[in-house]
Amino acid sequence: MKKQTTIRDVARQAGVSVATASRVLNGRDVVNDATRRRVLEVMEDLRYTPSSAARNLSLGRTLTITVVTSFLTRPQAAERLRGIDASLADSQFDLVIYNVESIEKRNQYFRTLPLRQRTDGLIVVSLPPPEEDVARLEHSDVPIVFVDARQNTTTLPRVLGDDVAGGALAAEHLLDLGHRQIGFVGDAFENPFGFTSSKDRFAGFQQTLSRAGIKPISDHIAMGGHGRYEAHELAVVMLSRPSRPTAIFAASDTQALGVLAAAQDLGLHVPDDLSVIGYDDIEASDFVGLTTIRQQLFESGRAGAQLLMAEITERAPTPQMVVLEPHLVRRRTTASLEGGPREP
């Protein structure tokens, strides 16, 4: 660990003041051309690189954007992150990531992160803040943007998918195909993180069915953990009953994959014996030909980062909400009730 070369070393070697060296470093145009060249040369020779800590302290900013997200490896989170990254790639900001997989971690971050002068902006992905932290977050010195984190009491800028509309889309598609006995497999509505997607998707779904005069059958509604295996088991139970549904809407593609596995176990052919539609459009869905409702994941990350950059550069709080519409992606796991795919 040899001693760092500082701007002072550069200045001395180039025979100028540190002020001038700093000006060259920052590309200020007031510097004499010959001087500038000399300084740059010395920087090159000395392999000088500025200390970001010193610069940050002096400038009062960190040149850092922080993302708090959960379950980094879930395809949804990874894709959103990529959207954020893409949007920041050409900026001068670095991306700091906090991955949260427990309530304790979440609370810790929400409590310490926006307060510390550690970052110039915060993007919260898929983590609704606990009620008691909302006020603090709103009064934070640091601009904050929520992505896919439904929080009704806040006026902070946020990017949301319309889960209710997406659930409705799924129901419409199945209704159009002639289905009347339609099951639902999703996440438990109550969960420690306060995720609302399953609940909202179900709401849109249920509403649409009701409007079509279809009453909910409790045997056709199953809820559990957000995993393929949990969904698999739930679906096996549902599909083993005498009056099984002819179609199932799963609150996520991951769960839909579990439903497909259950159908296979039971010797039910998809889509002839059972139609299945998921939600998200993750990569695996394309692999297996799963019909699904696509969320704009990458887009949501990008939009969130852009909102944040606007807040940072304009220094004006611009509370707003961006809603990204879901779309139906038809593949091979849904079909008309009479058999054989049919255009709805």
Partner DNA sequence: CTGAAAGCGCTTACAG
Give the residues lining the site for a second copy (CB under 8 A).
1-2, 4, 47, 49-54, 56-57, 62, 64, 72-73, 75, 78-79, 81-82, 85, 89, 94-99, 105, 112, 115-118, 141, 228, 257, 261, 283-284, 287-288, 315
Q: Which of 261, 254, 300 is nearest to 280 (CA)?
A: 254
How far apart are alpha carbons 38 and 298 in whole angstroms? 45
40 contact, one of DNA, a second copy, none, CB 5-8 Å limit per kind:
none
**Rounded CA separation 255/231 (Å):** 5
Residue 120 or 280 with smaller CB distance to DNA: 120
Interaction site with DNA (CB under 7 A): 3-4, 6-8, 15-20, 22-23, 25-26, 29-32, 34-36, 48, 50-51, 54-55, 57-60
Q: Least distance (Å) from DNA to the CB of residue 167?
A: 48
Q: 35 or 229, CB closer to a second copy?
A: 229
Residue type, 111: R
**Which of DNA, a second copy, none is residue 89 near (CB under 5 to 8 Å by kind)?**
a second copy
Which residue lies nearer to a second copy by CB, 50 or 130? 50
H/E stretch holding 8 reads helix 7-14
Select 33 or 44, whichever has its Cβ closest to a second copy. 44
CB 307 to DNA: min, Å: 25
Burial class (CB in 10 A: 0-12, 13-18, 19+), 304: buried
Q: Give the CA distances from residue 86 to residues 25, 82, 90, 100, 153, in Å, rounded to whole numbers and listed in that order.
A: 27, 6, 8, 22, 30
Q: From CA 144, how far away is CA 120, in angstroms rounded?
A: 9
Which residues touch 3 (CB under 8 Å, ≥6 apart)? none
CB 301 → a second copy: shortest distance, Å? 11
Residue carrying structure tokens 């180039």: 14
CB of 58 to DNA, least distance (A): 3
Work out what residue 91 binds among DNA, a second copy, none; the CB cut-off runs from 5 to 8 Å by kind: none
Residue 100's φ and ψ, nearest 5 degrees, are: -115, 120
Nearest alpha carbon to residue 334 among 248, 267, 276, 285: 276
Q: CB of residue 37 vs DNA: minimum separation in angstroms?
A: 11
CB-nearer residue toward a second copy: 112 or 240: 112
Tokens of 274: 């059972």
Looking at residue 166, its amino acid is: G
Nearest-approach distance from CB 212 to a second copy, in angstroms: 32
- Which helix (H) or strand (E) is 62 found in, with range? none
* Closest approach of DNA to the CB of residue 55, in Å: 4
CB under 5 to 8 A by kind: which of a second copy, DNA, none does 22 bind? DNA
Q: Which is nearer to DNA, 23 or 302 (CB)?
A: 23
- 71 — phi, psi (to 5°)? 50, 60
Tokens 């519409």 locate to: 325
Which residue, 194 or 227, is less far from a second copy as judged by CB? 227
Q: Which CB sits closer to a second copy, 7 or 251?
A: 7
- The SS3 of residue 91 is coil
Q: How far is the CB of 203 from DNA (least distance, A)?
A: 46
- The partner in contact with residue 82, picked from DNA, a second copy, none with C-beta cut-offs of 5 to 8 angstroms by kind, is a second copy
